Amino acid sequence: MRSSQDEYNCNIHANEVVMKTPIVECIPNFSAARRPEVVAAIRQAIAEVPGVHVLDTHSDLDHNRSVITFAGPPEAVGEAAFRSIAKAVELINLEEHQGEHPRIGAADVVPFVPISGVSMEDCVELARQVGSRVGNELGIPVYLYEAAATRPERQNLEDIRRGQYEGLKTEIAADADRQPDFGPPRLGTAGATVIGAREPLIAYNVYLTTAEVEIARKIARAIRHSSGGLRYVKALGLLVDGRAQVSMNLTNFRATPIARVVELIRGEAARYGVGIHHSELVGLIPEEALVEAAVWYLQLDQFDAEQILERRLQAAAQSSPDFLDALAADTPTPGGGSASAYSGAAAAALVAMVARLTLGRKKYAAVEGQMSALLEQAETLRAELNAAVQADARAFQALMAAYKLPKDTPDEQQRRSERIEAATLTAAQVPLAVAEKSVQVLELARQVVAHGNLKAISDGSTAAALAQAALTGAGYNVRANLAALRDRGKAEALLVTLRDCEKRAEALQAETRRTLAERGGIS
């Protein structure tokens, strides 16, 4: 299957990268896949929460189930989880739902996983807070599971999901053991939701060279821990896409490596005269698990993880100073031109943020098309201005190199003079391009201030201020280099372009200030 009994995990914590910011991963499973618009709406509800990053979306039509992985600070992740559940409750009717995968709810299961700077206890508390909100505000029965379970018999997801939606409908009110932890003891068309905290897991499926599902079920019984198989393995035998499948959750890949699981399946399959056709991951997997499998199969007994090229490159990148450190260093580059480009890129990023906070809101439906186009333009300008940070530094370095050329003979003097003139022109053209792009960002900032989400109007005005600073700084660099240019005709033409940018910026700033006063009450 391309979804899972539970869900899957993410590789944010791979490579032992130390992150100071608290990060929680959430991997909710929703009972929908055959209506892409429903999945998209749920994903949008998650993505709209500031600070949250959607990492993966995986849908399976046979199971009629989708899994969305996202991560961020605990408070933001909790809010995104609640919004996703609310959207699922609004759009999914389990009375009409059919699929291979066991389920009891529209938002079937919502686990929180500690990634960095948070403990399992923190995730347990987060699960309880979100569960309480779902029960009280949405009127949905909530069961807590895994580390958040309020009683031992609710630690296992399969036990809570026994009988699925149809069975729980009749049992929830009649059986005291089926009473929810939060919410009413009755089921509506959105069913119930299971919320909890757990360690990372890998959702992994193996397809066999047969359509006989009973063989997959026998293999699943042989490998899963609950029926005497491998520790930390949960497994089901299913028929997916006309092929027998062993569907698994590996809940501790360090204690039970993925290669060991595959080889046991291979051996069991051989007993029935079949083999492994192919396998698949559902969602994301820690790099460590793949490295471990590669080491096992390749028999790299002396392998050291630091032999991985990408790890060395990542370590080198992390040890390099960031832009602000480089800017503060006692070197001529990067300098004011690069800083101006950096400011312009930051302005474009803020414009993109306001556009995203506007898109998908009913209140701003009339400007949906405008904001989509604006977002695309802002992201293009952000990339171009970000590239200009290095381009400006390279232009200055080329100018300094030209000044260092030999000048002992008339020919050398001529070549040196020509190189200096060409490098000076480039050193003026690069910041001029930054100035022109900054005016474009300023125009986009004016639009988001005028039509974007009112709650983000200060962010839009900050974008305008940063774009103006980028233009001003770039202008200083243009003028400094044009003063040294011998070709005064070219210098004057570039100055005309710069003055035109400054004139347009002045008008845009005046209009933005008027809008701020009228629409936001900011003067």
Radius of gyration of the chain (CA): 29
Asked if 101 is an active-site residue, the reply is yes
Task: Quote the tokens at residue 110.
Answer: 């919502």
What is the SS3 assignment for 249? strand
Do 93 and 103 meet the contact criterion of CB atoms below 8 Å apart? Answer: no
Here the tokens at position 266 are: 């291979």
User: Which of these, 217, 197, 194, lies nearest to 272 by C-alpha position?
Assistant: 217
Distance from chain centroid for Cα 433: 31
Contacts of 237 (CB under 8 A, 6+ apart): 213, 214, 215, 216, 217, 218, 219, 220, 221, 244, 245, 246, 247
CA distance 441 to 38: 34
Name the catalytic one among 58, 101, 225, 451.
Answer: 101
Task: Count other Cβ atoms within 10 Å, centred on residue 404.
Answer: 8
Distance CA 223, CA 201 (A): 16
510 CB-contact burial (10 Å; exposed 0-12 / middle 13-18 / buried 19+): exposed
Residue 421, H or E segment: helix 410-451
Query: Which residues pair with residue 194 across a beta bridge?
Result: 109, 143
Q: Quick one: which of 456, 6, 51 has its CA closest to 464? A: 456
Residues facing residue 191 across a β-bridge: 105
Helix pair angle (488-515, 457-482), 10° resolution? 160
The arrangement of strands across the sheet holding 233-240 comes to: 233-240, 243-250, 202-208, 276-281
Count the residues in the chain.
523
**Which residue(s) pair with 234 in the sheet?**
249
**Residue 327 identity:** L
Calpha distance 472→502 (Å, rounded): 8
State the catalytic residues.
101
